[in-house]
Structure 1
Amino acid sequence: MNSISVIVTTYNWPAALKLCLEALYMQTDSNFEIIVADDGSTTANVAMNKSVCAQSPMPVKYVHQEDQGFRASTIRNKAVVQSAGEYLIFLDGDCVVRQNFISRHRKLAVRGCFVPGNRVLISQSFTENVINHSIALYKKNALDFFILSLQSKINRSLPFLTLPLGKLRLLAPKKWQKAMTCNLAMWRDDFLRVNGFDELFEGWGFEDSDLVIRLIHAGIKRKEGRFSVPVLHLWHSQNNRNNQDLNYQRLLKRLHQQDFIFAEKGLSQYLAH
């Protein structure tokens, strides 16, 4: 596998996106491109974002859509259309990765599988400190994170242990829970096969679970990424969750429709026929 596209979702938080992108710029494996998927940031924030993108040592594309509420599914689909990688890694713009993030994901990639990583939550006060002082979290090691957890600056340090789990990573091939697009990888062909994200999922909640469930229905198996590719998630207030119940009911219905694979309103609308 040669080409990787990292799809980074953002919305009106340039300070967080800067930290996210700077960590990607410092990867030990630099053979990838970045697609920034902007779900409606203001003109001023777009300008700040693009100034950081201009510093990138690897190719960057910027895809922006008008602000019509939380439409992460839509902007991610649009970003994938603009990408060139045969392997996709979805990452949120409020997450910071370590320097081996890409290389570890590349090693985990195997045909017929998607790979969800996990996340470590940063406290509100430490998030403010990281942003205000431009703390390079990507440089920290496992011992540093253990100390940060003792200080309650992060919620846990165990994910930073690197364990060679081997076949244990394949023990739950049909588990869809806790697979989130803040840290999720899959083959482009598999993403196309299920027609990407379903844009019927508007507002916060479960668009990532729906994608994973359809991948599983299509025969794509889960390969666990924990103890290999954690991300650090900056604190922020909760998103508006008015559509959460509606999205969850749609998700439950699809969970039991084993033949439901192709998103109703997905990637195909942007592809030439």
Structure 2
Amino acid sequence: MNDYDNITISVIVSVYKDTEALDLILNSLLNQTIDDFEIIISEDCESSEMQTYLKKYKDNKRITHLSQKDDGWKKNIALNKAVRHAKGDYLIFIDGDIIPYRDFVEKHKQNITHSRILCGKRVELGSFFSKLIRKGYLGTYIIEKLYWLFLPFLALDKARHIEEGLKLKKDSSLEKKLNKKRPMIIGCNFSCFKKDLEFINGFDEDYTTPSVGEDIDLTWRFQHFGIDSKSVRYLANTFHLYHPRTWNKQTVDNNNKIMKQKWDNEEFICYNGLIKKQKEKTE
């Protein structure tokens, strides 16, 4: 029996206008193997499309929609707003292009460990399969259940990380062997205690472009305080819908420079996060 069977959970979904993908995500989240969790739609925008789409869920008490002015990439601001709003003691984060397996939330819950972040991965689907799924011609639940049969076709469609769709039994010898290494956070599939995220003051809002700021930056700040990471690869699985990349090498390099400066200054608790803190003056 898991010590955290009665823990309250919030699933935070980061979105930007893509209601077609969100419809697929909510279909999965509302049909999970467990249902005792809230869903927060964290929109980095205030789109009329999203407001219109979410009207059909207006009576669903499990779903909350948060939005903000569309002012460039401000995902970390939206995430911090969602964290403040979350009622759960434990937070699971996915992106608006990530469709979770039907037991995704249950697998995160089963693997909760004191002072540890759970880090998952995703199968990056190719363009053809993503189109089939978006148009409703093929459901991800079918792919999930018959994954071995779909594997060669996913490979032909140039899917990436197709091994991440495989399911393993928790604590089996193979699962233990493959998940032995300390993982890094990937922002599209990870979970942590809300109090641990609050301790490092949440997401750093100094990052204003994708990559690094919503995952790698969290990893080193968590680890400094002994909040380690644990892999849930092959356990808490997800599909990533194909789309052109929203970041490039320059974006990554710029964010790495910001992170390096923060590392050198030992800013393990960020200043521009959940709470706005004044930087201490140095002589």
Contact 1:170 1:222 in 2 (8 A): no
Q: Which residue of 2 aligns with 1:230?
A: 237
User: Residue in 1 aligned with 2:20?
Assistant: 15
Q: What is the one-letter code of the residue matched to 2:275?
A: S
For residues 247 and 160 of structure 1, the distance between their equivalents in structure 2, rounded to whole angstroms, comes to 32
Per-residue CA deviations over 1:189-231 (Å, capped at 9, x if unaligned) read 1000000000001011211110121111111011111121111
Query: Which of 180, 191, 204 is matched with 1:185 structurally?
Result: 191
1:54 positional shift: 3.6
Correspondence 1:200 to 2:206: yes
Match of 2:219 in 1: 212
Secondary structure of 1:223's counterpart equals strand
Contact kept in structure 1, 2:10 and 2:40, CA below 8 Å: yes
Contact 1:115–1:225 under 8 Å retained in 2: yes
Superposition TM-score, scaled by structure 2 size: 0.85
1:98 to 82, 101, 119: 101
Contact 2:14 2:43 in 1 (8 A): yes
| Corresponding position of 2:281 | none
SS in 1 for 2:231: coil
Query: What is the identity percentage for the equivalent residue pairs of Structure 1 and Structure 2?
Result: 25
1:75-103 CA distance string (max 9 Å, x none): 00001111100000001111111111111
- Cα distance change, pair 23–161 in 1 and its aligned pair in 2 (3 A): same
Offset of 1:125 from its aligned partner? 1.4
SS in 2 for 1:268: coil
Measure, in 2, the Cα distance between the counterparts of 1:110 and 1:52.
36
For 2:272 and 2:148, locate their aligned partners in 1 and report how far apart those are by CA, in whole Å.
43
Partner SS state of residue 32, structure 2:
coil
Query: Gapped runs of 5+ residues in structure 2?
Result: 278-283
Pick which of 210-219 and 148-157 moved more.
148-157
Equivalent residues of 1:113, 1:222 under 8 A apart: yes
Letter in 2 for 1:130: I
Report what 2:81 is aligned to.
Answer: 78
Give 1 or 2 for the bigger CA radius of gyration.
Answer: 2
**Residue 124 of structure 2 corresponds to residue 111 of structure 1:** no
1:12-55 deviation line (CA, Å, top 9, x unaligned): 1100011011100000110100010000152133321x135447
Match of 2:275, SS state, is helix
Task: Please report how far the alpha carbon of residue 172 of structure 1 lies from its aligned counterpart in structure 2 after TM superposition.
Answer: 3.8
CA distance in 1, matches of 2:47, 2:224: 38
Moved over 6 A (4+): none
**1:136, CA displacement in angstroms?**
2.5
d(CA) in 1 for partners of 2:253 and 2:164?
Answer: 32
**Structure 1 residue aligned with 2:256, among 236, 248, 255?**
248
Q: In structure 1, the residue corresponding to 2:149 is in which secondary structure?
A: helix
Q: Could you tell me how far apart the structure 1 residues matched to 2:49 and 2:170 are? A: 45
User: What is aligned with 2:51?
Assistant: 46
2:34 counterpart residue number: 29
Q: How many residues align?
A: 263
2:40 alignment partner AA: I
Deviation sequence 1:153-173 (CA, Å, 0-9, x none): 443145422143476587444
Indicate which of 243, 247, 272 corresponds to 1:265. Answer: 272
Aligned counterparts of 2:108 and 2:229: Cα–Cα separation in 1: 14
Match of 1:6 in 2: 11
Which has the higher mean CA deviation after the structures are superposed, 194-203 or 164-173?
Answer: 164-173
Give the secondary structure class of the aligned counterpart of 2:114: coil
Residue type of the partner of 2:255?
N
In structure 2, how many angstroms separate the alpha carbons of the residues matched to 1:134 and 1:117?
27
Gaps of 5+ in 1: none
Change (3 A) 1:35 1:222: same
- RMSD value over aligned CA atoms? 2.3
